[in-house]
């Protein structure tokens, strides 16, 4: 069940905002479908094979896994991930949203640690239930946030 927020014009003029699920794409790549699994982790439809993201994972290693598991991706493509948190201001009662964006450019030669580029708390791998293959996902359960 999705929580419904009502936001008036006055609330909006005072900085109120509400997260909504949108499909954001640009370019030739298809959108990455997202779903929440039984553990509350957000899972994307972008396969990374057996790769398990941890503190030693580089952008290059992630890039190799994405290229190997997804035929329509190539060097130079960009993976963007947005994490939003919805809250209600305790004093004013106005709903507010905070959104943080992350991006990774697919580059198999990039030795930068992935968690230096994206949030380690919100960017990880999740095992897809039916296939057993790792997919891009979150390492924290989704409670009042939205990931795209």
Cα distances (angstroms) measured from residue 29 to each of 15, 24, 100: 34, 11, 22
Let me know if residue 4 belongs to a domain.
no
In a domain, 103, yes or no: yes
Asked if residue 106 is part of any domain, the answer here is: yes
Question: Would you say 136 and 35 are in contact if contact means Cβ atoms under 8 Å apart?
Answer: no
Confidence band, pLDDT 50/70/90 cuts, at residue 110: very high
Question: Between these two residues, 40 and 76, which has the higher pLDDT value?
Answer: 76
Is there a domain that residue 127 lies in?
Answer: yes
Cβ atoms of 95 and 20 closer than 8 Å = no
Question: Average pLDDT, stretch 42-55?
Answer: 80
Answer whether residue 2 is part of any domain: no
| pLDDT given at position 75 | 95
What are the strands, taking DSSP E only, across 89-133? 95-105, 124-127
Residue 97 lies in a domain: yes
Q: What is the mean pLDDT of residues 63-81?
A: 89
Residue 15 in domain: yes
* Pairing mode of beta strands 41-49, 145-147: unpaired
Residue 111 CB partners (closer than 8 Å, separation 6+) = 58, 59, 60
Q: Does residue 3 sit within a domain?
A: no
pLDDT of res. 139: 59
pLDDT of 147 reads: 39
State how many domains the chain has: 1
Expressed as residue numbers, the domain containing 27 is 9-147
């Amino acid at each position: 069940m999705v929580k419904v927020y009502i936001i008036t014009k006055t609330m909006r003029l005072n900085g109120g905002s509400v997260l909504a699920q949108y499909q954001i794409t640009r370019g030739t790549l298809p959108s990455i479908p997202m779903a929440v699994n039984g553990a509350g982790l957000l899972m994307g439809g972008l396969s990374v094979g057996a790769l398990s993201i941890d503190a030693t994972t580089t952008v290059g290693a992630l890039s190799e896994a994405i290229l190997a598991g997804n035929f329509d991706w190539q060097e130079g493509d960009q993976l963007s991930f947005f994490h939003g948190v919805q809250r209600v201001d305790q004093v004013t009662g106005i709903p507010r949203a905070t959104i943080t964006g992350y991006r990774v450019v697919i580059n198999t030669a990039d030795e930068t640690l992935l968690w230096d580029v994206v949030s380690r708390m919100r960017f990880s791998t999740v095992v897809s239930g039916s296939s057993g293959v790792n997919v891009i996902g979150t390492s924290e359960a989704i409670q009042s946030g939205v990931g795209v």
